[in-house]
């Protein structure tokens, strides 16, 4: 049986208007994510995490190498039908209410209207926004918008959930709730790929991680095999804490 | 949604005001009040629909791409072709709604000019705009604003969306005021010839906005095409509406297909 995600020697070079290479964001990255795993894609800023995720979603094409999602090309609708995506920033249409946002994404997932309404109601309750369902999302706080985006990523009952910084902008209680939710979704058989700057979050929920640095895989393995502290292991792979950029990132 | 944008309502309001007031302030009509009112209306349809098309395309495509909502939508089981077509059709439908509202209001005003001319013939007076028609046109502009404000205050309806839709509805209802089929046909035919080049601008602006990486570049392309319009207008006025429509639809289809194929290949950051 094929893996849920299969990334094989993927490279991505960005070019300027004259097609001159400007930056090689991803350099020969390979990893696999198996069904039912919670997989962490970790790395400092600019390490190529978001570029890798965008190639996984078919938004960017790899310059070299191959990406497979459920055995299909990421642009294939059959693959994307099984995917839920929570972007790093909560991209929402400001004129829509929380309920309309969920119904809009339910429509993109081809959910029948009656089921979409029921599902939207369940998810709004789950993320604690039942009472705010009729308010336009432009008036929401960052944390509330994040919860709407999380609900939107789950509306199509995906088999694979891609979470880009899922706890970004959330308070400690909501962060805990998200981590509990990730574990609960895993128990239901969902595969989850998440990126996080917060190593403690990754340590709490991930089964396996890949650490990217300067677009390359610096380390890969099960959390339990990476030593007593993920943070120490991470620092040993991507640099030391005296590095200003990294210290700033960790702060 | 494009018609929820405050600027859409503002443009529609300005277009209706221009149509109504330009007819009312035609002092030197040289005995042709109807033709002058019709020409002013055609100019309003052309100019404001072009601005609306360029603004709509840039808002719809660039904003979706820059804000990341396009990437989020395309991370679902939605093909890029379907996304592009849906957005383009949305822009064209909004343009039809927008220009129809101006056209219906223009029909009322042109009919008012005709009635004023007839009254003047009987009295030997200088032809003026028929007052009740002018009042109907003002009501078409003001009443939706008042009703939408009340709906927003008491029922939390969205002001801009409801005002836009109500303006279109009131504009259509204004046709019932002393309806004249001949005037309606004449205005529709002329406005259609102005609307077709605007639709072409809309599809070019859509493609430019979806493919170019800055609002500025998209706007420049749309304006450059807009600058060519006087030539196109002179051409389309010579043509019969049916032939002009076929020609315009072919051009729109060609531009849309090119846009779709290029959008299908581009990276979304």
Q: What is the pLDDT of residues A223-242, one digit of tens each?
A: 877 766 667 777 777 665 45
Q: In this model, does residue A31 exceed pLDDT 90?
A: yes
Rounded Cα distance, B130 and B150, in Å: 31
pLDDT digits (tens, 9 = 90+) for B175-197: 888 888 888 888 888 888 778 88
- The answer to whether the CB of A58 falls within 8 A of the CB of A134 is no
Q: In this model, does residue A222 exceed pLDDT 90?
A: no
Q: In this model, does residue A6 exceed pLDDT 80?
A: yes
Are residues B71 and A92, on separate chains, in Cβ contact within 8 Å?
A: no
The domain segmentation of chain B, as residue ranges, is 2-265
pLDDT digits (tens, 9 = 90+) for B207-231: 888 887 666 666 666 666 666 665 5
The pLDDT value given to residue B155: 86
- Residue in chain A nearest B60 by alpha carbon: A93
Are residues A77 and B75, on separate chains, in Cβ contact within 8 Å?
A: no
Average of per-residue pLDDT across B41-49: 86
Percentage of chain A surpassing pLDDT 90?
A: 43
**pLDDT tier at B105, thresholds 50, 70, 90:** very high
- Residue in chain B nearest A74 by alpha carbon: B75
Identify all chain A residues contacting B158, using CB atoms and an 8 Å cutoff.
Answer: 95
- The answer to whether the CB of B149 falls within 8 A of the CB of B158 is no
SS (H, E, C) chain B: CHHHCHHHHHHHHHHHHHHHHHHHCCCCCCCCHHHHHHHHHHHHHHHHHHHHHHHHHHHHHHHHHHHCHHHHHHCCCCCHHHHHHHHHHHHHHHHHHHHHHHHHHHHHHHHHHHHHHHHHHHHCCCCCCCHHHHHHHHHHHHHHHHHHHHHHHHHCCCHHHHHHHHHHHHHHHHHHCCCCHHHHHHHHHHHHHHHHHHHHHHHHHHHHHHHCCCHHHHHHHHHHHHHCHHHHHHHHHHCCHHHHHHHHHHHHHHHHHHHHHHHHHCCCC
Rounded Cα distance, A68 and A34, in Å: 12
- Residue in chain A nearest B266 by alpha carbon: A60
Q: Quote the pTM value.
A: 0.81
Rounded Cα distance, B145 and A165, in Å: 43
Residues 6+ apart with CB under 8 A from A163: A86, A153, A182, A192, A193, A194, A195
Rounded Cα distance, A153 and B73, in Å: 11
Number of alpha carbons in the 13 Å side-chain half-sphere of residue A236: 9
Residue A146 in 3-state DSSP?
A: helix
Are residues A110 and B77, on separate chains, in Cβ contact within 8 Å?
A: yes
pLDDT digits (tens, 9 = 90+) for B244-253: 778 778 888 8
Rounded Cα distance, B80 and B267, in Å: 11
Closest Cβ opposite residue B75 in set A83, A93, A95 = A83
Are residues B77 and A59, on separate chains, in Cβ contact within 8 Å?
A: no
Identify all chain A residues contacting B72, using CB atoms and an 8 Å cutoff.
Answer: 85, 87, 91, 152
**pLDDT tier at B203, thresholds 50, 70, 90:** confident
pLDDT digits (tens, 9 = 90+) for A66-82: 999 999 999 899 998 99
Closest Cβ opposite residue A109 in set B68, B77, B156 = B77
**How far is residue A246 from each of residues A14, A43, B44, measured CA to CA in Å?**
24, 10, 58
Interface with B, mutate which of A93, A94, A145, A162 (most B CBs under 10 A): A93
């Amino acid at each position: 049986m094929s893996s849920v995600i299969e990334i094989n020697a993927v490279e991505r070079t960005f070019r300027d208007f004259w097609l001159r290479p400007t930056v090689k964001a991803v350099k020969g990255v390979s990893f696999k994510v198996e069904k039912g795993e919670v997989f962490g894609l970790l790395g400092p800023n600019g390490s190529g995490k978001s570029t890798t995720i965008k190639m996984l979603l078919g938004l960017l094409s790899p310059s070299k190498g191959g990406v497979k999602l459920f055995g299909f090309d990421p642009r294939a609708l059959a693959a994307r039908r099984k995917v839920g995506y929570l972007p790093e920033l909560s991209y929402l249409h400001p004129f829509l209410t929380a309920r309309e946002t969920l119904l809009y994404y339910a429509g993109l997932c081809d959910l029948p209207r009656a089921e979409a309404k029921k599902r939207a109601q369940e998810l709004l309750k789950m993320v604690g926004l039942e009472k705010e369902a009729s308010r336009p999302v432009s008036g929401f706080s960052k944390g509330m918008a994040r919860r709407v985006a999380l609900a939107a990523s789950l509306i199509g009952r995906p088999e694979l959930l891609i979470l880009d910084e899922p706890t970004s902008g959330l308070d400690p209680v909501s962060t805990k709730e998200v981590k509990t939710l990730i574990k609960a979704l895993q128990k239901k058989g969902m595969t989850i790929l998440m990126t996080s700057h917060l190593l403690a979050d990754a340590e709490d929920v991930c089964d396996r991680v890949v650490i990217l640095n300067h677009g390359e895989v610096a380390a890969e393995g099960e959390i339990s095999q990476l030593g007593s502290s993920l943070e120490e292991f991470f620092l040993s792979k991507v640099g030391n804490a005296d590095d200003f950029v990294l210290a700033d990132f960790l702060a | 949604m494009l018609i929820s944008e405050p600027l859409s309502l503002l443009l529609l309001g300005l277009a209706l005001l221009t149509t109504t007031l330009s007819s009312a302030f035609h002092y030197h009509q040289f005995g042709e009040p109807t033709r002058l009112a019709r020409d002013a209306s055609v100019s309003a349809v052309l100019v404001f629909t072009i601005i609306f098309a360029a603004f709509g395309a840039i808002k719809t495509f660039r904003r979706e791409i820059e804000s990341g909502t396009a990437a989020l939508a395309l991370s679902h089981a939605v093909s890029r072709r379907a996304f592009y077509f849906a957005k383009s059709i949305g822009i064209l439908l909004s343009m039809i709604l927008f220009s129809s509202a101006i056209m219906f209001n223009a029909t009322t005003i042109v009919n008012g000019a005709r009635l004023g001319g007839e009254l003047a013939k009987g009295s030997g007076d200088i032809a003026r705009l028929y007052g009740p028609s002018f009042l109907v046109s003002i009501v078409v502009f003001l009443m939706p604003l008042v009703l939408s404000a009340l709906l927003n205050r008491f029922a939390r309806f969205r002001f801009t969306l409801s005002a836009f839709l109500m303006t279109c509805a009131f504009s259509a209802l204004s046709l019932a005021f002393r309806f004249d089929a001949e005037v309606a046909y004449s205005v529709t035919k002329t406005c259609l010839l102005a609307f077709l080049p605007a639709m072409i601008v809309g599809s070019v602006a859509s493609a430019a906005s979806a493919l170019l990486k800055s609002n500025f570049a998209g706007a420049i392309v749309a304006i450059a095409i807009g600058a060519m319009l006087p030539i196109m207008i002179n051409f389309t006025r010579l043509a019969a509406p049916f032939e002009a429509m076929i020609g315009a639809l072919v051009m729109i289809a060609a531009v849309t297909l090119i846009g779709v194929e290029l959008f299908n290949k581009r990276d979304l950051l």
